[in-house]
Amino acid sequence: MNASVRVVVADDQNISRGFFEMFVRAANGYTLTAGLRTAREAVAYADEHEFDLLIMDVMMADGIDGLTAAEQIKREHPKIKIILTTSAVETTWEDKARAAGIESFWYKEYENESLIDLMDRTMAGESVYPDDPPRVSFGKVTRADLTERELDVLRGLTESLSNDEIAERLHISPNTVKRHIRNIMEKTGYESRLELAMNAKSLGLVVSDKERTNDPKQRRLK
């Protein structure tokens, strides 16, 4: 890279944003252009300024999340390269990010690859996503030991949905939902749906779209 890469960081957690800002300032070939507190600010900044790389957290406050904002920025400013980051391990976000053309995805607490390597590879034209989902302990097992359907059911539990509501969402029977919950409890060793939901939520094991977007109806800022 001959010219310094102009970088914008967007994260609503002061410690996390400060880490990214410090990291970019110390990296050769990169210049910190702005540190922003919300995804809404990131969209507005992209409309008004030129820069090369956006590093943004998925879970953001102020009515719009990082993934939604990244989709809009990529659609309206396709030359800006984007790295989405998260402390949660909700792997469905990877698929959504890929579909939106987001270049790279980085799990803050679970990646072996350094952020600078990811930045270099992204700016070199690569699209960098994890090869495997993070191995996060969940009771007696890890997230990888649960099936996608079990994770879907678990996502409903974190929203405090009833078995009937989960069944309707997933187009399965309430009895099938019960069976999945029983299987998850047997695998993990947790003894109730409440314990399942509380631990899944605290670990960021699954995150519903409703929780991620804050307001699922608000998909545009303008």
Burial grade of 21 (CB within 10 A; 0-12, 13-18, 19 or more):
middle
d(CA 140, CA 214): 31
Query: In the predicted model, is pLDDT for residue 3 greater than 80?
Result: no
CATH number, domain 5-134 = 3.40.50.2300
d(CA 53, CA 128): 14
Res 221: pLDDT: 31
Confidence of residue 212 (pLDDT cuts 50, 70, 90): confident
Confidence of residue 214 (pLDDT cuts 50, 70, 90): low
**How many Cα atoms within 13 Å fall on the side-chain side of residue 153?**
25
Burial grade of 191 (CB within 10 A; 0-12, 13-18, 19 or more):
exposed
- How is residue 177 written in tokens? 């939902």
Query: In the predicted model, is pLDDT for residue 218 greater than 70?
Result: no
Domain boundaries, the chain: 5-134, 137-204
Query: pLDDT (tens digit, 9 = 90+) per residue, 45-68?
Result: 999 999 999 999 999 877 789 999
Query: pLDDT (tens digit, 9 = 90+) per residue, 87-117?
Result: 888 888 999 999 999 999 999 877 677 889 9
Average pLDDT over residues 119-141: 91
Give alpha helix (H) positions in 49-192.
Answer: 66-76, 92-99, 115-123, 148-158, 163-170, 174-188
Cβ proximity of 85 and 38 under 8 Å: no
Query: pLDDT (tens digit, 9 = 90+) per residue, 134-185?
Result: 788 999 999 889 999 999 999 999 999 999 999 999 999 999 999 999 999 9
Cβ proximity of 1 and 27 under 8 Å: no
- The rounded percent of the chain whose pLDDT value lies above 90 is 74
d(CA 207, CA 203): 10
State the pTM of this model.
Answer: 0.82
Assigned CATH topology for domain 137-204: Arc Repressor Mutant, subunit A (1.10.10)
Two domains, one topology: 5-134 and 137-204: no
Average pLDDT taken over every residue of the chain: 90
d(CA 51, CA 34): 10
